[in-house]
Structure 1
Amino acid sequence: MPAIVFLLIAGIVLGPLTGWLNPEALFGDLLFPMVSLAVAVILFEGSLTLKFEDIRGLQKVVRNILTFGVMITWFSIAVATHFLLEFSWGLSILFGAIMVVTGPTVIVPMLRTVRPNAKISNVLRWEGIVIDPLGAILAVLVFEVLLSIQLQGHVSVGHTIYMFGKTLVVGLSIGAVSGYLFGIILRKHWLPEYLHNVTTLALVFATFAISNEISEESGLLTVTVLGIWLANMKNVSVENILDFKEDLSILLISGLFILLAARLNFDSFQQLGMGAVMLFLFIQLIARPVKVFLSTIGSDLSWQEKVMISWIGPRGIVAAAVTALFSLRLQDIGVENADLLVPLAFAIIIGTVLVQGSTAKFIANRLGVAEPDDSGFLIIGANSVARVLAQALKENGFRTRLTDGSWTNVKQARMKGLDTYYGNAVSEHADRHLDLIGLGQVLALTPQSELNALAGLRYKAEFGSNHVYFLSTDKEKDKERSETKSRKAVSHDSHVLFSNEITYAKLASLISRGASIKQTKLTENFNFEDYLQQHGRRVTPLFAFNPRRRLRFFTAAENLQPESGWTVVALVQDDEPAQAEAPLNENGNLDETRLPT
């Protein structure tokens, strides 16, 4: 379940159920400015991930969803709101404009849990991030119209067009100019790296505030354009900024959902009655699918992918914040039912988050559009040792992907039918092009201890330090010295494969002398101790897995004792292996020219 489900529950428990948290009393007039700034940071962080190359071939789909797809959603929700809840046409059109948004506050956490394929993820991310400022702008325009009707008795068409054009010009221009100038500063290294994060945050706040001061609600568009510009500017690295903003966004999303859920009033929900439920079902089952299927006509998306995109469209923080803001203003000028906008918006938010959050992963798996579980192995190196281990893993149904900068090694791995990436695993090219889908653990198996260490440091953040394993390359036989040196190279949490005495050179030597992979299933009458006694020094246990396909490696730090029913996979030498380690070339393969005659 996405964490946002539990955040909503926490907010409801702390607010309307117990009364322990009262956001208005706690923050007063600062509540909505704080919410607005937090939304700006969240939108900026999301837009930093929007690269045009990710939607190559899907540009038309994204454009359609963000243009006439928005109009379809706006019109259909407005009509449904008017007839199901008996709101005035003006209020219904305003609510329809607000509800066109989805937003990164709910889309991104849900995508992390559901893990749909790249096409679905990219379409939903682009839609969720770009549509937020568009929805806010539409809401401002409708609000201006309602204000004119309520105060002057007529609509000023010229003023409305002027406001729309002004908002677009201000948002696009300030966002593009500030993005370009800040990109130049980053590219030319005019700013110390330790100031990148705090300066970026200050820039987001400043551009957001300046834009809103010039044209109301243009700030969201500004920070979105700012993020997209930086993400797609050549020779500008935003990885460190993105890491910082991701952590900050998680904190802000958590706080916002709890605070806004704590403002709910259950009495207002009772006034909405079944009309709110019917409206939610209409949005979920009719408005969203119609929008997606009409917007994707002529695309190469399969019907399963279209269904998945249709199902995921939760509303989030922007919908809640904008609704709360306009509801207060409309109540001040005496618009009927304006006080019901906030509970209605939260009814849709809670409904979409709970229903989609609890079912999306199941539906993705049933439709076959979910990425595989992270049970595979990224293997650093495609040398003889890596190829043998990858082959053993593959034959037992475990996904592997080997990486190596040696074309000879990569070619030999491909000839064995192994999945490979040709290049340095810790390079910038790998960051952009190495596919990690379905992979959850790292095996550093090169003869270069420095490369193993770098790979461990690089992928520890990606997979977690407890999922990083490396092979000892130290030729010293002293266990304590070898363990200390190896662990300092990567981290104290990483795992030395097999044992400290099983070095890369020793495994390569065994393989060159005819050792082969063999697997044995343990029983109650033939346990692991019996297995070791039978093979003696001729066996090097590599890994074991139980009947439920849970795999564990033999490591230097853990005395793994497989039980009955487990399958042990080991490197077995038919004859007693020689003690001397084989000479290796620069690629980690046996150097036959250096063998004794």
Structure 2
Amino acid sequence: MDQTILITLTGIIVTGIGAQWLAWRLKVPAILFLLGIGLFLGPVTGLLDPNALLGDLLFPFVSLAVAVILFEGALTLQFKELKGVGSAVWLLVTLGAFVTWVIASYAAHYFVGLEPLMAALFGAIVIVTGPTVIVPLLRIVRPNSKVSTILRWEGIIIDPIGAVVAVLVFEYILMRATPQQADAGLTAIILPFLQLIGAGLLLGLAGGYLLGLILRRHWLPEYLINVFVLATVLAVFTLSSVLAHDSGLIAVTAMGILLANMRGVPLTDILHFKESLTILFISVLFILLAARIEPAMFSRIGFGALLVLLAIQFVAQPAKVWISTIGAGLNWREKLLTAWIGPRGIVAAAISGLFAIKLDQHGVSGAEVLVPLTFTIIFGTVVTASLTARPLANYLGVAQPEDKGVLMVGINVFSRMLAQALKKNGYRAILADSNFADIRIARMEGLETFYGNAVSQAADQRLDLVGIGRLFAVSGVPEMNNLAAIRYRHEFGAENVYVLQTPQEKSGSGQQRLSDVFTGRKLFGPEVSLGDLMLLVEQKAEIKSTRLTEEFNWEKYQQTYDNRGILLLMISPKGILHVQSDGPMPTPSEGWIIIGLYRPQTEVEAKPDGVEASAT
């Protein structure tokens, strides 16, 4: 094995995943780092040449990866989400796509000087946005449900539509460039179009239905489900593409949407597996395609490329959104944000590169401009959306709040006290329980509640988790706590799922304690149980929120509350909530808020100098 190839492939994967981690830490879209890595490794340093590395395998690999990404995105599209915005989505991917096509084509013709047919091909290529860029952006921007649903549906459905339109224009250009077919009639265009649409829909729907039946009837062992689904997706994509060139994108999109809306098909584990694959493929693809850029390409398009970018961002995007969302119930702020977020991604990059090669082989003029112009639009729209969409969403008031709130499963005296303390410090807290008597008491205290089982289907449909990012399972039933931990582990992340031990779990034998595999982090530490907290409450303990000052610092706080109760939470000056658990806690300083459950002071204890507030 060539060690250079091995090192290069490993380096791409490692740096790509590293970029994803860095983006997560900094709360910015990973695409920015991925494009930067690709440009640095490719045109800047020359360390990576994707064409030399993969050769003829580059575009087949890109095609298969895009198929998996589109399928994973389509699996999240449920028709019930379209209530109220369905018309806007369909208009965006039809009338809106046409508006974008026309404006982008005219801009490329007048500003860059492309021939009309080549300009029409470019316009068709940049119709697409795509889940490779939209979905990661939505994680960071966090717009409200209307905007998020519209952008996600449009980004996934527009990919195959844009690809189909681009293929038709491309085939027409090739036909005109071939003397034997130059005089062919309209039938030569319509027939391939019908074949493309028909093959994609037929194979996608048939493959999706058969796969759904297999999964619903449990004909596969658990360990084969994910790889079987992956193999089926690739097989359907390839078969469709062979029967009708580039119809595979339609097939996998139709397949995913059908599966997402079939009843009784278990998709949770499949979605988790495909999500991991999607992250890997996006990380690799953006680095590879950015590394293919040659700086000399951009000298051929000049300043006109910037004018095309401006026309797409400030004319085409607003025009398509305003026309397509008439009567959709969106206010002007939601329309503005929807119009602003329109990054182009992998499909546009891959199609432009493939078409440019084939057109150049047929001697079509203008083919050399296609790739640099398309990548200018990709870079410009991605960077613009990545750097400005979140601040714009916040400014317009259409961004969801940060996930700093807490879902608390189980209502008792302590959980109500803790919810009051969180509420007082600006954190949303939802108390969930199936005992209506407990729900009624919490509501009378002004607390937000959910009546029902937190792991029920009703909770999936009605429990509003906007702004919620942590689980505190504080029920007196250990099985309920651990079921909640399993249910919300993927929703919030394992690091944000906390389970409070019951007295039996703390003092019982190994036969009584549930396996750590099915639980979360130890809420308030491994030595604390619900019984300990309830005992403190019986001793008239209260939850105290104390802000540290220069005079009343952390050392004095510890001296004041030593042996009086249990430290629960810390809030940094930036509003970051730190939960006392099985890991180390930060050392707080001036400005931090410390929350603990403490018994009243005895007559011999000195009263603290800090600002102490009771949450009860």
8 Å contact 1:375–1:398 — kept in the other structure? yes
8 Å contact 1:385–1:507 — kept in the other structure? yes
Within the candidate set 311, 314, 320, 2:340 is matched to 311
Q: CA deviation at 1:415?
A: 2.5
Within the candidate set 308, 313, 331, 2:360 is matched to 331
Map 1:448-463 → 2, pairs under 5 A: 448-463=477-492
Within the candidate set 533, 543, 551, 1:507 is matched to 533
Q: CA deviation at 1:532?
A: 5.7
SS at match of 1:67: helix
Partner of 1:267: 296
Indicate the larger mover: 237-246 or 223-232. 237-246
Runs (5+) with no aligned partner, structure 1: 577-597
8 Å contact 1:376–1:439 — kept in the other structure? yes
Partner of 1:430: 459
1:543 corresponds to 2:569: yes
Are residues 180 and 541 of structure 1, via their aligned partners in 2, closer, same or farther at CA, if it must alter by over 3 Å? same
Indicate the larger mover: 282-291 or 467-476. 467-476
Q: CA deviation at 1:506?
A: 3.9
Give the Cα–Cα distance (whole angstroms) in 1 for the partners of residues 311 and 505 of structure 2.
Answer: 70
SS at match of 1:472: coil
| 1:567 partner amino acid | I
SS at match of 1:271: coil
8 Å contact 2:498–2:520 — kept in the other structure? no
| 2:222 partner amino acid | E
Partner of 1:516: 542
Map 1:224-373 → 2, pairs under 5 A: 224-373=253-402
Give the Cα–Cα distance (whole angstroms) in 2 for the partners of residues 65 and 225 of structure 1.
Answer: 18
Give the Cα–Cα distance (whole angstroms) in 1 for the partners of residues 596 and 317 of structure 2.
Answer: 53
| 2:473 partner amino acid | A
Are residues 523 and 76 of structure 1, via their aligned partners in 2, closer, same or farther at CA, if it must alter by over 3 Å? closer
1:54 corresponds to 2:81: yes
Deviations 1:195-218 (A, max 9, x none): 111111111111111111111111
Deviations 1:16-75 (A, max 9, x none): 222221222222212111111111111111100111111211111001101111111111
Partner of 1:179: 208
Q: CA deviation at 1:491?
A: 7.3
Give the Cα–Cα distance (whole angstroms) in 2 for the partners of residues 247 and 494 of structure 1.
Answer: 23
Give the Cα–Cα distance (whole angstroms) in 1 for the partners of residues 431 and 236 of structure 2.
Answer: 45
SS at match of 2:266: coil
Q: CA deviation at 1:254?
A: 1.2
| 2:171 partner amino acid | E
Q: CA deviation at 1:505?
A: 3.0
1:466 corresponds to 2:495: yes
1:92 corresponds to 2:115: no
8 Å contact 1:276–1:344 — kept in the other structure? yes
Are residues 491 and 168 of structure 1, via their aligned partners in 2, closer, same or farther at CA, if it must alter by over 3 Å? closer
SS at match of 2:48: coil
Map 1:61-100 → 2, pairs under 5 A: 61-100=88-127
8 Å contact 1:516–1:571 — kept in the other structure? yes
Give the Cα–Cα distance (whole angstroms) in 2 for the partners of residues 167 and 197 of structure 1.
Answer: 28
SS at match of 2:300: helix
Indicate the larger mover: 363-372 or 523-532. 523-532
Partner of 2:61: 34
| 1:215 partner amino acid | A
Runs (5+) with no aligned partner, structure 2: 1-27, 603-616
Q: CA deviation at 1:408?
A: 2.1
| 2:52 partner amino acid | A
Give the Cα–Cα distance (whole angstroms) in 2 for the partners of residues 187 and 212 of structure 1.
Answer: 27
Q: CA deviation at 1:287?
A: 0.5
Are residues 422 and 178 of structure 1, via their aligned partners in 2, closer, same or farther at CA, if it must alter by over 3 Å? same
Map 1:531-570 → 2, pairs under 5 A: 531=557, 538-555=564-581, 558=584, 562-570=588-596
8 Å contact 2:501–2:522 — kept in the other structure? no
Are residues 455 and 207 of structure 1, via their aligned partners in 2, closer, same or farther at CA, if it must alter by over 3 Å? same
| 1:328 partner amino acid | I
8 Å contact 2:499–2:519 — kept in the other structure? no
1:403 corresponds to 2:432: yes
Within the candidate set 371, 387, 397, 2:416 is matched to 387
Partner of 1:12: 39
SS at match of 1:440: strand
Are residues 325 and 558 of structure 1, via their aligned partners in 2, closer, same or farther at CA, if it must alter by over 3 Å? closer
Give the Cα–Cα distance (whole angstroms) in 2 for the partners of residues 94 and 527 of structure 1.
Answer: 67
Q: CA deviation at 1:452?
A: 2.1
Partner of 1:495: 522
Deviations 1:55-104 (A, max 9, x none): 21111100110111111111111111111111111101111111110001
Give the Cα–Cα distance (whole angstroms) in 1 for the partners of residues 506 and 219 of structure 2.
Answer: 50
Partner of 1:25: 52
Deviations 1:190-240 (A, max 9, x none): 111211111111111111111111111111000000000000001111111
Map 1:129-168 → 2, pairs under 5 A: 129-151=156-178, 152-168=181-197
Are residues 103 and 509 of structure 1, via their aligned partners in 2, closer, same or farther at CA, if it must alter by over 3 Å? same
Give the Cα–Cα distance (whole angstroms) in 2 for the partners of residues 442 and 483 of structure 1.
Answer: 25
Deviations 1:486-516 (A, max 9, x none): 795467971331662x432343344456543
Give the Cα–Cα distance (whole angstroms) in 1 for the partners of residues 362 and 557 of structure 2.
Answer: 83
In the superposition, the TM-score normalised over structure 2's length comes to: 0.87
Give the Cα–Cα distance (whole angstroms) in 2 for the partners of residues 58 and 456 of structure 1.
Answer: 33
Q: CA deviation at 1:136?
A: 0.8
Give the Cα–Cα distance (whole angstroms) in 2 for the partners of residues 446 and 176 of structure 1.
Answer: 45
Percent identity between the aligned chains?
48
In the superposition, the TM-score normalised over structure 1's length comes to: 0.90
8 Å contact 2:423–2:429 — kept in the other structure? yes
Partner of 2:153: 126
